[in-house]
Structure 1
């Protein structure tokens, strides 16, 4: 049976974060450093990583960076080696690197899907295996935090290959957890599943539509996800969804599958397309160079999630239960209305 890992408080930890040059990864790195952790940022863009590292150091934090493409296993090993040389090892490894593709499955070239899987699936697999091997050697163990998505549970139209990759992430993460538990390794494995998040996700996606890509509502702030990641680095859970909107989509998909399909085909299809042409910029073909936490979502962005706070024991059960029931009923009415 598993041995409970002796996870340190955040200010005592060394945290590795892949995909740390933008979005959730960058937000998590900055927040972790603010809370006293030593951080190792990894991504493909050296300019962005250097700037982020210098910023953290200027604010009194400790940080290193590694230029790495997670689809290359040798690069992933280099992340671990650099961390060992700089800090003697790590306590938490966050697999956050991922890219999206917009378009119907018949319009997206198979070559793009394959490259996406190299990053989203194989990159996370390499990082998880490297982290597990090194954390097993430490008496206190540590934590692996894999970033999935609500589409790990419920596929979304126009992001079919991304949904498939995140389904694979969940399957791999669940299996790794069981194997480590059976082995008795003091390593926690948590799957964090964000709802739609106001990062440059849509802007960095490779877009095969004839319209600019957007996110379907409701949309949450990246800080909401970052707080969750850092919470499970200290107090792990098996998996957690960030945002009641995403959880409701999953629950409705399970209980009213055909109706949810119809909602996807109508509301979610339109919500992911803007009334202007797409740009050529994308993070699949080349690294993104700007330090951007937020995207250009034009609607309301929720700065926190009461549902997620409840799941982490931060909100009274009665309050969260009432809010969840209200939100679920609203989602049901929306589907019936369609």
Structure 2
């Protein structure tokens, strides 16, 4: 079925995880484009701040405190959106949390809570949204991750939850398409994003957690989400670096394993003691800015993502990506290449995926909204 989606200024959009990071950025962008927004998260205080920012600029917003792991809260969220705005056109499941620590060191209690939020929160929201959308039409957008495709050490259960979200989202899409339901179902797969995500996470490490590069700004994810609200897309990768990691993991899984084993553990640790090890896994966070304070290089834009959202440019870009991938894969099936993969990863491939040069002073932005971050004008 050809799903017809409304322009943003005619939509009501429900957003979970709207108190900070990607969800907050999406709510602010949507409202700026004329959409009515329903703001959902556990912290009512933070949601009120987002509401005030929206309404002060003439936008319309509804605050509904919600724990996405609670099916009753999700039902109430849908009911409030319908009662207040007369329905909704797009539902965005963005709420999520992580745990930094080795799998055998994390408690079952914490592991279960993560899955209740990340996976069951998406399942609860999706199934409730579809009850309405299959009758009225619209878009369901689930925020997965590059971790839906590629596992990384120290965030094992987070990766497992994102793999589960991908399987659930793909199956739900097929079931809706099979019966001709007028619902677009999109999975968004961001790379690492500069939000307060590490500070909100439960931390078992001896150091403060850090995002592994490449890192992008949350506004780039928000733009992809709003594109999916008006264009029927199966999935969207945010960040060409993440897409490249996914492609390499598919074709060179053992090489990517070795690369992660060699680099990823230390890449996820800041050189400072843990700030708040408990994070907001079990309690709402206090303080919910859009951006985090990632200490390294952050790309404001992704040329790859923007091209995939514009078909006229996608063909040329994919040809370039394909050529680059072929060059990287090279003689991957030869025994000699396989034997030297770890060394090759450390010496050649690793810098291109996980490290970035310092940002020239001329490119440094003005004061950041949160902390100090090295930012570039754009990237793949």
* TM-score interval (norm. to shorter): over 0.9
User: For the aligned residues, what is the CA RMSD?
Assistant: 1.7
Return the offset for 1:18: 0.1
Are 2:261 and 1:265 equivalent residues in the alignment?
A: yes
Q: How far is the alpha carbon of 1:335 from its aligned partner?
A: 5.2
User: Residue 305 of structure 2 aligns with which residue?
Assistant: 308
Return the match for 1:69 from 40, 60, 67.
67
Q: How many angstroms apart in 2 are the aligned matches of 1:56 and 1:243?
A: 27
Q: 1:85 to 1:158 in 2, by over 3 A?
A: same
1:256 Cα shift? 1.4
1:178-197 to structure 2, matched below 5 A, reads 178-197=174-193
Q: Structure 1: which 5+ runs fail to align?
A: none
Cα displacement (A) at 1:204: 0.7
* Residues 1-338 of structure 1 aligned to structure 2 (within 5 Å): 3-138=1-136, 141-280=137-276, 281-313=278-310, 315=313, 317-319=315-317, 321-322=319-320, 325-326=323-324, 334=345, 337=348
Query: Within 2, Cα distance between the matches of 1:156 and 1:10?
Result: 36
User: Partners of 1:165 and 1:176 in 2: how far apart?
Assistant: 16
Distance, in Å, in 1 between the alignment partners of 2:295 and 2:64 is 33
Structure 1 residues 290 and 331: CA distance shift in structure 2, 3 A? farther
Higher relative contact order (CA 8 A, sep 6+): 1
Q: CA deviation at 1:321?
A: 3.2
Distance 1:158 1:168 in 2: 18
1-structure distance, mates of 2:232, 2:127 = 18
Please give the per-residue CA displacement for 1:304-333, whole angstroms capped at 9, x wherever unaligned: 111111211263632553266448857996
Q: State the TM-score, normalized to the length of structure 1.
A: 0.95
For the 8 Å contact 2:3–2:232, the answer to whether it is kept is no
Cα separation, partners in 2 of 1:185 and 1:323, compared to 1, 3 Å? closer
CA separation in 1, counterparts of 2:310 and 2:163?
A: 27
Q: Distance in 2 between matches of 1:328 and 1:283?
A: 42
Equivalence for 2:337: none
Alpha-carbon offset, residue 111 of structure 1:
1.1
CA shift digits 1:193-220 (9 cap, x unpaired): 0000001111111001111100111100
Count of matched residue pairs: 334
- Alignment CA distance shift 1:316-1:79 (3 Å): closer
Contact 2:255 2:345 survives alignment (8 Å): no
Equivalent residue for 2:364?
none
SS of residue matched to 2:209 = coil
The unaligned stretches of length 5 or more in structure 2 are: 331-343, 351-380
* TM-score with structure 2 setting the length: 0.84
